[in-house]
Every structure is written in structure tokens, then in C-alpha cells.
Structure 1
């Protein structure tokens, strides 16, 4: 197997972020590098999404564009409508590929 794509889920504690995590943690070519949540920062991802127990062992972190850009090749934005633009611009300027799901 080749190199895995490092993926960040920005806004990972909501429904869209949870479903995206469910799909990506099982994908053979993807490594979920980080998931962000302002209100859940420091808590295990599986605490917010129990169906991920045994599949993911990371904790939510606060959304920091520089940290997302350093740790990822691709970022999915699963933020509320209107919030994504604040994160998309610095990520795109850092050369990251961005998929906005809002």
C-alpha cells in the first residue's frame, strides 16, 4: 500500500463531521490526522461519536489553521454555514486541498 493521505476534519463533533469520520477511519488510503471542535477540545473523538470506539484514538483539538496545514494533506470543513470561509482561506493559502461540506 502507498502513502496514506493525511486528513483533517474541521468541525468534527457534529453530525456531518461524525459521518465523515465514520467513513474515513475505515478507508485504507486515509489517516485521520486530526479532528477539531471548539467545545469538545481535549476530549476523545469516540466520546462524541461512540460508534468510532476501537477505530480512532485521537482527541479533538481547537481549530488552528497553521496546525491543520502542518499535519494534513487535505482538510474537510464540516462547520456551520458561514463559518467555513474563516478557515478555508488560510488553509488554501498554505497550499492545502480543502473540501467544504457546509
Structure 2
């Protein structure tokens, strides 16, 4: 999550009535992703809000018990697949 990502998101949703929810990633074994810091999320949210986007920060619950969204199940039992960017979004996100 970067400042550049915030501006790309603003460009993507320009003119589209939408609500943007920012939710910190729930880490789990088998994932290469890590949560973004709260400070970085606030910076990201503020950029979107300044651009008149309707944006909310939501806080996850259940992470301390491996029961947050995307974490249910026996940790490590099934390898977690890496998420790939859909073809139609590759140009938008410069991947």
C-alpha cells in the first residue's frame, strides 16, 4: 500500500459511486503478504478522503485466534495459493 497506489485507486474509481473499505491484511502461515502499518493505512485513507472518495478504515477481529477473515481452518494444513492480479487489471496496476 503506497501513496502511488492511493492515486491509482482514485483514478480507477473516478466517477463511480462507491465506498472504499480499508482492512488490514490478516497474516497467516503460508502467506508472503504482511499487514500494512496503521500509520500507512491512515495516510492512504487521508489521500482518498482528500480526493472526495468515501473511505472507511475497518479493523479486523479474531486475528488473535486465527479466526479472522481468510484464516479459518487448520493453520498450515493447506498451502495458501498466492493471489494473482486478474488480466483485466494488469494495465491499471502496472504489473
With the shorter chain as reference, the TM-score category is 0.3 to 0.5
Question: What TM-score do you get using the length of structure 2 for normalisation?
Answer: 0.35
Higher relative contact order (CA 8 A, sep 6+): 2
Where is the strand percentage greater, Structure 1 or Structure 2?
A: 1
Question: What TM-score do you get using the length of structure 1 for normalisation?
Answer: 0.34
